[in-house]
Structure 1
Amino acid sequence: MSDQHVPLRTKMAYGVGAVAYGIKDNGYSTFLLLFYNQVVGLPAGIVSTVIALALIFDAMIDPVIGSLSDRTHTKWGRRHPWLYASALPIALTWMMLWFPPATAQAGVLGWLLLAAVLTRAAIATNEVPSLAMAPEMTADYHERTLVLRYRYLFGWAGGLAMLFLAYGVFLAPPLGALSGPGALTGFQLYGIFGAVVMGVTVLISAIGTHRRMAHPPAKRVQTHGLGETLRAARETLSNRAFLILMASGILAYTNQGIGFAISNYNLNFVWQFSSPQLLLYAGALFLGVVLTFLLVSPIGHALGKKRALALLTILHALFVTSTYILRLLDLFPEPGSPALLPTFLTINTLGVAFGVGAMILGASMMSDVVEDSEERTGRREEGLFFAGALFMQKCAGGLGILLAGWILSLAEFPAKAVKGSVPVEVIDRYTLIFVIITLVIAGLSALISLRFPFGQEEHEARLAKLAVAAAGDGGKS
């Protein structure tokens, strides 16, 4: 591991590897519930429950991949064998998700569950080792934020680029539609194109980071029997700072999951935007990501990571719910009003900037936990920590989709609905529930994040102690 400045080309290559996760995350959050509910015709509550059930498998596979990644010792290091091997499974399982069989409802639900499990597992074999490389690239407290912002920039860029192509090409006439008879073909083209991009970008990232990172670690994690390995993993994951970040993060990512899962319902049935307006929406989201890319490091420097995280979490929730609060109060432009689109896009651009900034800071703080754990346990287990973080994100995303399905069910939102035909009272009911849930969850997440036990001074003191210890034993485990 080096504590020096990470070259721009390495940051860029590292960031490109997040495109696959961005496409998967955006597709799961934005289109998967819509596809199986509005296109395939399954009940929203059942679909969201099946998607959430796939997370049970993640509870087993993510920590296993993280631990195995920590203990992989090859001439290409700990992470890169996993990166190269993951490209093809990611592409194939993603494509499978959008090609359900023409069979009875139970058969389609079984296919969805299997495809969701396989897709999540394939993504984990890439994303866990990739995230674990961040604290290995640099030990500098603020440089880690600078490195990870590229990960989030490219991850969101990949997801939003696919969103843009979905709205503008694959799910628009003449190729397809968001619902109705022509939608199936459009979604399948979306799946095929996404699979190709995911596989290619994973390989580009692995090749681009190979020279700097593909070498055996300075400190080897010892391999023991199953019982000893489980005991060590339990000790590692009981780290207080880690548990605080997990609790705060699962709430924050649940909010993100809810927001994305109902975004198409809001855009089409609440605001009744046209296809060109949906393209502008995708562009505005990316503008928000670029904005946080420029501002997150200065904010983290000025406030400290944990205070900046809490502030951005609250601001994100306030901005993403404000349009619906104002609508319920009859203070927001009506559908068709010339003022609607620019007002809505401005507010949502800022909301996205705050939300992504909070995620970057949380990931940077997770990197700092690695040395805290190393000081306490004598083991350096980046893979295990980031497996836990990734599993948290997946759980939260699945929980968000589950809650979104329940919101729609409670509001009695009709399946295969037509734009402009959903009763106002139904829309009011489900947006009100969305607003309340989002604000409550964000408040809890911010309060928990403020309990994070250390900052820059403690981190730098810890690095000095570890350096002295490493010099004393010659750097050997």
Structure 2
Amino acid sequence: MTKANNLPGPLKIFHGLGAVAYGIKDNGFSVFLLIFYNQVMGLDAGLVGTVIMAALIFDALADPIIGELSDRTQSRWGRRLPWLYSAAIPVGIAWMLLWHPPALGHTGTLIWLFGTAVLARFLIAMCEIPSIALVPEITPDYDERTILMRYRLLFAWGGGLLILIAAYGVFFTGANGVSERSGYDGYSLTGALIMTGSVLISAFAQHRYVAKPSPAARPAHSLGQALFEMRETLSNRAFVILASAALFGLINQGMTFALSNYLFAYIWQFERMEFLYYALVLFGSVIIAFLSVPAVSKRYGKKGGAIRYAVVSLSVNLALYGCYIFDLVPGGKSNPLPLFIFGFAIFAYAAAIGMIILIKSMFADVVEASQAETGRRSEGLFFAGYFFTQKCAAGIGTFIAGMILTFSTFPEKAVVGQVDKAALDMFVMLYMFALLIIGIIGILILRHFPISRESHNERLRALNTSAESAS
């Protein structure tokens, strides 16, 4: 474990680089997958949303197993690196399959979507869970963990935005935009190459810092005992509260991104260049979050900072779409001013990203809280629990997005400017209602998270004293 406040700069950068693959996967699932299978493949949005939700939840059940196996992995390179080396190439292949369904008919295409979605996300989990589980191994420091998470989020969002800019600026420039099937050939191939490359480069570059023989293996247990230990670990009160709060925050994120192409194309009527500007606005949001998190965390702590970010993001989003409903947008509903929309979006997204950075850093702090109770360090299992939550949330968010489209009678093969205004208004109102209810529940749960800077540092002192006494 690297000493606190002494992390080498290259380690921070290359550790963060590994999250690029996750960002590209997240962008594809959140922004393009629903519209690809709905508008390009011609499947019902509600059915597509349901299948994506089922695939993500089914896949998420494997995450705790990956985390537990990662915690128990024995090698001369440590517990995490073997997973990164073995999954990097298969994840690129699975990504290509997801966007190239053969001619199977509606039912067959839904089955293909389910199978390839599960496979792609399972392989990403084999990369991401061991990678992020390195954070509490690398440093015990309360603030340094936040720094590592800042870099991971910077690269994850950077990877997602890189492919988003390429999508709007290179691959989907035809008359049909994101509804043009041929554009997904270049989009998927580019994503696959970057995903595989980023995981391998990150692993190779971190090798000199983290490749150490695994700690002594845990005693072999029966399957029943292993499952009991997993349940005991994941029953930690701080973890349950944090995972529950994260679930609702991530549902809102998943729903918003699944609907983003519909919102920007049909509500705000963006042209191609405005989609590119939107990608730059997102990147600006990432930078604002990256720069603001240290000060916010220092002043309010991780929990207080995350709650404040959540309130700001929810309020700004609701204000923007409230302006649409009450026709307060400059230019009106027929010709809305993009700068007005971008002004709201940059702060809403920056606050949402800041919240996610702090929540992920809080998950790292749960490791020692559990260790004090059980005597086991379970970094991989806890972050697997986080990804289980995230996948469930993404699936539920996409399902809700599909239901919003269905209940607002949003048409398939819709043409910008020709969708019934009553359907658009209902679409926005249902989106706002879901955003408000889900967001408030998440904030109320997060208020009960018990770990602060002071309690974390006190716990570290107690664990260190216990370790010294035992040696």
Per the shorter chain, which TM-score range? over 0.9
Pairwise CA RMSD: 1.4
Question: What CA deviation, in whole Å up to 9, does each residue of 1:412-447 have, x standing for no partner?
Answer: 000010111111110100111111111121111111
Residue in 1 that maps onto 2:3: 3
Residue in 2 that maps onto 1:237: 234
**Selected match of 1:200 from 194, 197, 202:** 197
Residue in 2 that maps onto 1:109: 110
Residue in 2 that maps onto 1:424: 421
Displacement, 1:3?
3.4
| Paired letter, 1:119 | A
Residue in 2 that maps onto 1:142: 143
Displacement, 1:52?
0.8
Report the secondary structure of 2:412's partner residue.
coil
Residue in 2 that maps onto 1:131: 132
**Contact map agreement 2:15 2:206 (CA 8 A) in 1:** yes
Residue in 2 that maps onto 1:172: 173
Displacement, 1:60?
2.8
Q: More displaced, 243-252 or 322-331?
A: 322-331
Residue in 1 that maps onto 2:246: 249
Residue in 2 that maps onto 1:259: 256
Displacement, 1:73?
1.2
**Contact map agreement 1:221 1:381 (CA 8 A) in 2:** no
Displacement, 1:338?
8.2
Once residues 31 and 275 of structure 2 are traced to their aligned partners in structure 1, the CA distance between those partners, rounded to angstroms, is 13
Q: More displaced, 236-245 or 319-328?
A: 319-328
Structure 1 unaligned spans of 5+: none
Once residues 219 and 459 of structure 1 are traced to their aligned partners in structure 2, the CA distance between those partners, rounded to angstroms, is 25
Structure 1 segment 339-350 matched on structure 2, within 5 A: 340-350=337-347
Residue in 2 that maps onto 1:374: 371
Residue in 1 that maps onto 2:122: 121
Q: Percent identity?
A: 45
Once residues 309 and 418 of structure 1 are traced to their aligned partners in structure 2, the CA distance between those partners, rounded to angstroms, is 39
Once residues 371 and 28 of structure 2 are traced to their aligned partners in structure 1, the CA distance between those partners, rounded to angstroms, is 36
**Contact map agreement 2:327 2:333 (CA 8 A) in 1:** no
Displacement, 1:320?
2.1
Once residues 131 and 333 of structure 1 are traced to their aligned partners in structure 2, the CA distance between those partners, rounded to angstroms, is 43
Residue in 2 that maps onto 1:277: 274
| Paired letter, 1:91 | G
Residue in 2 that maps onto 1:87: 88
Once residues 308 and 142 of structure 1 are traced to their aligned partners in structure 2, the CA distance between those partners, rounded to angstroms, is 13
Displacement, 1:102?
1.5
Once residues 268 and 446 of structure 1 are traced to their aligned partners in structure 2, the CA distance between those partners, rounded to angstroms, is 30
Structure 1 segment 417-456 matched on structure 2, within 5 A: 417-456=414-453
Once residues 171 and 385 of structure 1 are traced to their aligned partners in structure 2, the CA distance between those partners, rounded to angstroms, is 39
Displacement, 1:113?
0.7
**Contact map agreement 1:48 1:401 (CA 8 A) in 2:** yes
TM-score (norm 1): 0.96
Once residues 446 and 225 of structure 1 are traced to their aligned partners in structure 2, the CA distance between those partners, rounded to angstroms, is 39
Once residues 367 and 11 of structure 2 are traced to their aligned partners in structure 1, the CA distance between those partners, rounded to angstroms, is 21
Question: What CA deviation, in whole Å up to 9, does each residue of 1:332-357 have, x standing for no partner?
Answer: 12369887111111110111110000
Count of residues paired in the alignment: 470
Indicate yes or no: 2:297 matched with 1:296. no
Displacement, 1:264?
0.3
**Contact map agreement 1:252 1:442 (CA 8 A) in 2:** yes
Residue in 2 that maps onto 1:364: 361
Once residues 322 and 87 of structure 1 are traced to their aligned partners in structure 2, the CA distance between those partners, rounded to angstroms, is 42
Report the secondary structure of 2:62's partner residue.
helix
Once residues 337 and 470 of structure 1 are traced to their aligned partners in structure 2, the CA distance between those partners, rounded to angstroms, is 67
**Contact map agreement 2:16 2:152 (CA 8 A) in 1:** yes
Once residues 317 and 333 of structure 2 are traced to their aligned partners in structure 1, the CA distance between those partners, rounded to angstroms, is 20
Once residues 22 and 460 of structure 1 are traced to their aligned partners in structure 2, the CA distance between those partners, rounded to angstroms, is 32
Report the secondary structure of 1:459's partner residue.
helix
| Paired letter, 1:105 | H
Indicate yes or no: 2:78 matched with 1:68. no
